[in-house]
Amino acid sequence: MDILNYTYNEQSTFDENPLNAVDVLSLCQFCMIKLEIFDYDKSKTIGIKDLLIREKFDDMNYFKLLLEKNINLLFNLASSPRFREIKIIDYENIVDDDRGSQFSATTYLYEDKFKLIAFRGTDNTISGWKEDFGMSYSNEVPSQKYAKDYLDRYLGDELPIYVAGHSKGGNLAYYAAAKSDVLVERVYCFDNPGYLEGVISEAEKEKLKDISIKFIPDHSVVGLILNHDINTKIIITNSSYLLAHDAFTWAVHDRDFVYTNKLTTYSEAVKKSLEVTLESVDEKTREKIVETVFLDMKKENITTLQDMTDVSIKSVFDIGFSLKDRLLVNDISSLLIYSLIVVIGVLEIVFPNVIIKSVMYLLMGFLGVLGIVNIKRYFTYKNKNKTTSLKHILFGIVLLIVSVVSIVNNVLSPVINPSIFGVILCIYSFSKIKYLVIDTSRDKKWWEQLFIMTIAGITGVLTIVYPIYALSITYTVFSSAFVLVGLINIFNIIYNFNK
In a domain, residue 325? The reply is no
Tell me the pLDDT of the chain averaged across its residues: 74
AA letter at 250: W
337 and 475 share one domain: yes
The domain boundary residue, chosen from 208, 239, 263? 263
Position 446 confidence tier, pLDDT thresholds 50, 70, 90: low
Mean pLDDT (whole number) for 92-112 = 86
What local confidence, expressed as pLDDT, does residue 332 receive? 47
Residue 46 belongs to domain with CATH number? 3.40.50
CA angle, 160 then 173 then 224, to 5°: 135
* Model pLDDT, residue 280: 64
Q: Is the pLDDT of residue 58 over 90?
A: no
Provide mean pLDDT across the span 242-246.
Answer: 81
205 part of a folded domain: yes
Q: Are 201 and 347 found together in one domain?
A: no
Q: Within 10 Å of residue 25's Cβ, how many Cβ atoms?
A: 25
Q: What is the 3-state secondary structure (H, E, C) of 189-224?
A: EECCCCECCCCCCHHHHHHHCCCEEEEEECCCCHHH
Same domain, 82 and 210: yes
Higher pLDDT, 85 or 352: 85
Which residues lie across from 214 on neighbouring strands? 189, 232
Contacts of 176 (CB under 8 A, 6+ apart): 119, 144, 147, 148, 150, 151, 163
* Residue 313 confidence (pLDDT): 47
pLDDT at 304 over 70: no
Indicate if 364 and 492 belong to the same structural domain. yes
Give yes or no for residue 411 having a pLDDT over 70.
no
Angle, CA of 224, 225 and 227, to the nearest 5°: 85
pLDDT at 341: 54
How far from 398 is each of 267, 367, 372, 394, CA to CA, in Å?
38, 9, 10, 6
What pLDDT score does 314 carry?
Answer: 47
pLDDT at residue 498 above 60? no
Domain identity same for 337 and 243: no
Within a domain: 291: no
Comparison of pLDDT for 422 and 229, the residue scoring more: 229
Position 236 scores a pLDDT of: 95
For the CA atoms of the chain, what is the radius of gyration?
26
Print the domain residue range for 112. 3-263
At residue 330, the pLDDT reads: 45
Q: Which of 235, 263, 291 is the last residue of a domain?
A: 263
pLDDT of residue 53 exceeding 70: yes
Is 297 inside a domain boundary? no
Residues 255 and 338 in one domain: no
pLDDT of residue 215: 97
Amino acid at the residue 265: T
- Residue 412: pLDDT band with limits 50, 70, 90: very low
Whether 455 contacts 474, CB under 8 Å: no
Global pTM value: 0.64
Q: How many Å apart are CA 273 and CA 338, to the nearest integer?
A: 12
Phi and psi, residue 469, nearest 5°: -75, -30
Task: Using pLDDT thresholds of 50, 70 and 90, give the confidence band for residue 473.
Answer: low
Do 105 and 118 form a contact (C-beta atoms < 8 A)? Answer: yes
Among 100-114, 276-290, 404-418, where is mean pLDDT lowest? 404-418
| Start-to-end C-alpha separation, the chain | 58
Q: Residue 310 domain-assigned?
A: no
Distance set, CA 152 to CA 92, 108, 177, 194, 268 (Å) = 14, 16, 9, 22, 37
Handedness of CA 280, 283, 285, 288 (dihedral sign): positive
Is-contact 37 58, C-beta < 8 A? no
| Distance (Å, whole) CA 232 – CA 101 | 28
Q: In the structure, how many helices (H) and strands (E) does the chain have?
A: 17, 11
- Average pLDDT of span 459-468: 63
CA distance 5 to 413: 39
Give Cα 192 distance to the centre of its chain. Answer: 11
DSSP 12: -
Which one of 263, 286, 321 terminates a domain? 263
What is the predicted pLDDT for the residue at 12? 95
The SS3 assignment for 101 reads strand
Q: Rounded to 5 degrees, what angle do the CA atoms 4, 5, 7 make?
A: 65
Say yes or no to pLDDT of 257 above 60: yes
What's the CA gap between 150 and 144, in Å, rounded?
A: 10
Separation between Cα atoms, residue 314 and residue 320, nearest integer Å: 10
Q: What is the pLDDT of residue 284?
A: 76
Domain count, the chain: 2
State residue 351's pLDDT score: 53
pLDDT for residue 346? 59
| Tens digit of each residue's pLDDT (9 = 90 or more) over 121-161 | 876 566 666 676 777 777 888 899 999 999 999 999 999 99
Confirm whether 286 is domain-assigned.
Answer: no
pLDDT digits (tens, 9 = 90+) for 43-52: 778 888 888 8
Query: Which of 184, 149, 146, 286 is closest to 226 using CA atoms?
Result: 286
**Percent over 90 (pLDDT), the chain:** 31
What residues contact 179, with CB distance under 8 A and at least 6 apart? 148, 204
